[in-house]
Amino acid sequence: MRDKVNIAEKLAGVTEYFRPKIVASLNEMKVEVVKVRGEFVWHAHADTDDFFLVLDGELTVELEDGDVHLGAGELYVVPRGVRHRPRADQEAHVLLIEPKGTPNTGDAGGELTAREEEI
Amino acid sequence: MRDKVNIAEKLAGVTEYFRPKIVASLNEMKVEVVKVRGEFVWHAHADTDDFFLVLDGELTVELEDGDVHLGAGELYVVPRGVRHRPRADQEAHVLLIEPKGTPNTGDAGGELTAREEEI
């Protein structure tokens, strides 16, 4: 039997912002938790939608045609190919789902690109 | 721009137990909310894992080799092909993710099989 995942327990082990950690698999997708604070990089994922569910705090997903403001219990799916930048003025906790192998920085790359790591 | 999804607002419009409603799409997957109370049917999905995230209340996922007890903020992914039966003694609210076209009753069928409906 697989283990269940307690999200708060997993988040307690996360010490860096914008470094998603894999907590479960769903077919070819990875389910991740991430702590965010500050501005991420503008990027897009050409081949996949990008799922954000805010667990705690507030997250803004900047899009080229406007911002999406999310509070706890709100989710948003960025359509594939759409450039976006996550931003949080205060620490927020987010559940992410995207295909395994998808880099967090999409087509932007750079130093914020996180290694895939299970916790 | 797609709309964001406020999960509580969506759940407020759900009036029946074990009738998942689609609130978002993620590639070929459907993201659903469902209210559960009582026992569902034993079933399996031959071709897909089955994602449960408890939003409110408590959910038991019965498996043939033991039960998985989930509280709010806990998730579990039933591996493809594994027979399971969701059960909740009191009303619970759950987020589900599975491929579009996947029947909620898997291989069991029957009267609990829900039509796919977006809200």
Q: What is the pLDDT of residues A34-59, one digit of tens each?
A: 999 999 999 999 999 999 999 999 99
Whole-number Å distance between alpha carbons of A9 and B93: 21
Whether the pLDDT of residue A1 is over 80: the answer is: no
DSSP annotation of A57 reads: S
Using a CB-CB distance cutoff of 8 angstroms, which residues of chain B are in contact with residue A4? 68-70, 74-76
CB B51 within 8 A of CB A27: no
Using a CB-CB distance cutoff of 8 angstroms, which residues of chain B are in contact with residue A84? none
Are the beta carbons of A27 and B80 separated by less than 8 Å?
Answer: yes
ipTM surpasses 0.85: yes
* CATH class assigned to B7-99: mainly beta
Whether the pLDDT of residue B43 is over 80: the answer is: yes
Whether the pLDDT of residue A112 is over 90: the answer is: no
**Given A6, A55, A77, which is nearest B2 (Cβ)?**
A77
Min Cα distance B92 → chain A (Å) is 15
Best residue in B9, B27, B78 to probe A by mutation, most A CBs within 10 Å?
B27
Distance of CA B104 to CAs A55, B32, B110, B119, Å? 26, 11, 10, 17
**Given B27, B49, B70, which is nearest A48 (Cβ)?**
B27
Tens of pLDDT, residues B101-112: 888 999 888 888
At residue B47, the pLDDT reads 93
- What does the block give as tokens for B112? 């609990």
Tens of pLDDT, residues B57-90: 999 999 999 999 999 999 999 999 999 999 999 9
At residue B14, the pLDDT reads 96
Whole-number Å distance between alpha carbons of B7 and A73: 6
Are the beta carbons of A76 and B51 separated by less than 8 Å?
Answer: no
Are the beta carbons of B65 and A1 separated by less than 8 Å?
Answer: yes
One DSSP character per residue, B54-102 reads EEES-EEEEETTEEEEE-TTEEEEEPTT--EEEEEEEEEEEEEEEETT-
Indicate the pLDDT class of residue A2, thresholds 50, 70 and 90: confident
CA torsion through residues B15, B20, B21, B23, sign: positive
Using a CB-CB distance cutoff of 8 angstroms, which residues of chain B are in contact with residue A8? 73
Whole-number Å distance between alpha carbons of A30 and A75: 17
Residue extents of the structural domains in chain A: 7-99
Whether the pLDDT of residue A33 is over 90: the answer is: yes
Using a CB-CB distance cutoff of 8 angstroms, which residues of chain A are in contact with residue B66? 1
Are the beta carbons of B73 and A7 separated by less than 8 Å?
Answer: yes
At residue B13, the pLDDT reads 94
Whole-number Å distance between alpha carbons of B8 and B113: 24
